[in-house]
Amino acid sequence: MPDAAQSSNDGSESIAQARVLATRAFTAQPKLAECDQETVDRIVGQVASVAAQHSEALAELAVKETGYGIVSDKTKKNLFAAQTIYDFIRPMKTVGVIRQLDDRRVVEIAEPFGVVAAIVPSTNPTSTTIYKLLIALKARCAIVISPHPTAIRSISQTVELLTQAAVDAGAPVDAISCMTQVSLEGTQALMQQREISVILATGGMGLVRAAYSAGKPAYGVGPGNAPAYIERSADVNKAVSDIIAGKTFDNGLLCSSENSVVVDRDISEAVRGQFTEQGGYFLNKEETETLSRGLITPEGLPNPKLVGRSATDIAKHSGINVPSDTKVLLAPLAGVGRDYPLSIEKLCPVLSFYTVTDWREGCQRCQEILRYGGMGHTMAIHSQNDKVILEFGLKKPAFRILVNTPTTLGSIGMTTGLDPSMTLGCGGHGGNITSDNISPRHLINVKRLAYETKPLRLLERSKRNPIQSKPPSGLTAQLVSTRVDEFLKTRGFQRQAEPHLPSDNAAEERSDSPSPLASVASPSETRSGQIEIQTVDFVSEEDVRRALSESRHIMIDDNTIVTPAAQDLANQYGVFEHSTDTRSS
């Protein structure tokens, strides 16, 4: 991008640019929405391919500009977005009919949400940009990027590179754009523009709250503060290795990276030994207090100068002597909260360390940690006890509970079967609209064609004559038939005796009373060889139901008395036949 990319001081230029870019994106949105699936997939595939080709160069640019993280790990994150996430979203159908529910006669059709305002952080600038562009384009949504002021150049150059790839593949001009005059006021103006339909916000809690208060649908993700619990049945060697791998990946910049270790007292010495052997350094009380003052600001936030730095750099800055091969710093703490500054999210290779009596106390401690800045986000449990693992799944206020894997990599779907994503919803616990890993599905509205399955005339009939699967308690079919016969006799009608048909009820079979189905037609053979079905003189709803269950018709003539409920049910299923019909043998 040109050298003009900068942070605006008074915010006026940034606000003006936000308005212009939102308007341009809004103009491009209908053109992008009209693309067919083949065109969309070609655009997304080309963008992913170009991002993968430049993954290392973009990683180097991000580290050089921000001073955060490790080039090799940022390269892996860029490739994760450009390859793993792309492979996941590639087969998704996001245009036209996406599902048919034949049994319900419902057809689902994808509709793009609209223009996306995407806020990109300085901690993961290029990988988050790649990811948000891919899912927006896959959903046919135009997108405007608002970069963090300290990562303008790396984010804007990523956008420029991928915009060209998208346009070359058929995307409309202005379907992708990026603010280069950046300020808090400009970002807020972008989110509030009427042309914006949805917000993808990744950053601090202030930004996320601003996104949710912008008056638009928003997916916002803030701090993680993920605890990792090591239960007594765990493979201690692997558990420690996983935690160190997660915490040191890009120097702990992902919001789902481990921030605390909670250990059963029975295995605490073994865990300490493994940490020391694998590059961990345990701080004493004085060193812990020193690090707390240097790493955590009076506002309770990580010191920006130490975010994303290595453990040795942080120790040196704090005046603490550690071995040169130190990978993580561990601070033993007695509690969680303001009196224990290092119990909060730290965004660097520093872990707080707790010992507990058993899994129940461990469960409580993990809840305390999550409540202190990580509600709804992520945690890990290292255990071989399925019962304990399930208890953590049931009771922890986190929507990603990773089992025997690093939280950093497991939460984003790199080492687990979770949807690959760089934006992780925290659900109601974290004040988010969803607990999902965000994908193109969250940028699509679904409209539905719904065909009639319950005609109004039948619903009205069922209200007048509700169909019961069995007679009301205390009222048997035999009793109903007897009472109907008695009523007919008072009106001068006499039911003719018919051959007795089997009843479904064994007790009724043994009764001497006539069967309620005696009125249902039975066939007899004539001298001419035809089968003649005898007509009946009375039909109740129960007779129709029995005929349906036995796949039979009922023969009636003009003199047959039919109850209204029987008439409705028989008409619905075509049960009646008139006496003029005959069937040849």
Active site residue ranges: 255
- Measuring CA to CA, how many Å separate 299 from each of 185, 344, 345? 22, 12, 13
Taking CA atoms, 155 is separated from 28, 125, 371, 410, in Å, by 21, 6, 32, 25
Indicate the helix (H) or strand (E) that contains 429.
Answer: none
> Distance between CA 142 and CA 177 in Å, rounded?
9
Asked if residue 110 lies in contact with residue 454, where contact means CB atoms within 8 angstroms, the answer is no
The residue type of 533 is I
Q: Cα dihedral angle (53, 59, 60, 66), rounded to 10 degrees?
A: 150
DSSP helix/strand/coil, 510: helix
309-318 CB contacts, 8 Å cutoff, 24+ apart:
309/67, 309/68, 309/251, 309/348, 310/251, 310/349, 311/248, 311/281, 311/348, 311/349, 311/350, 314/348, 314/349, 314/350, 315/281, 315/291, 318/290, 318/291, 318/294
What does the alpha-carbon distance between residue 471 and residue 466 come to, in Å, rounded to a whole number? 11
What secondary structure, in 3-state letters, does 392-426 show? HHHHCCEEEEEECCCHHHHHCCCCCCCCCCCCECC
Alpha-carbon gap, residue 172 to 27, rounded angstroms? 10
Counting other chains too, the contacts that 35-39 makes at CB distance below 8 Å and 24 or more residues apart are 35/95, 35/140, 35/170, 35/171, 36/95, 36/96, 37/93, 37/94, 37/95, 37/96, 39/169, 39/170
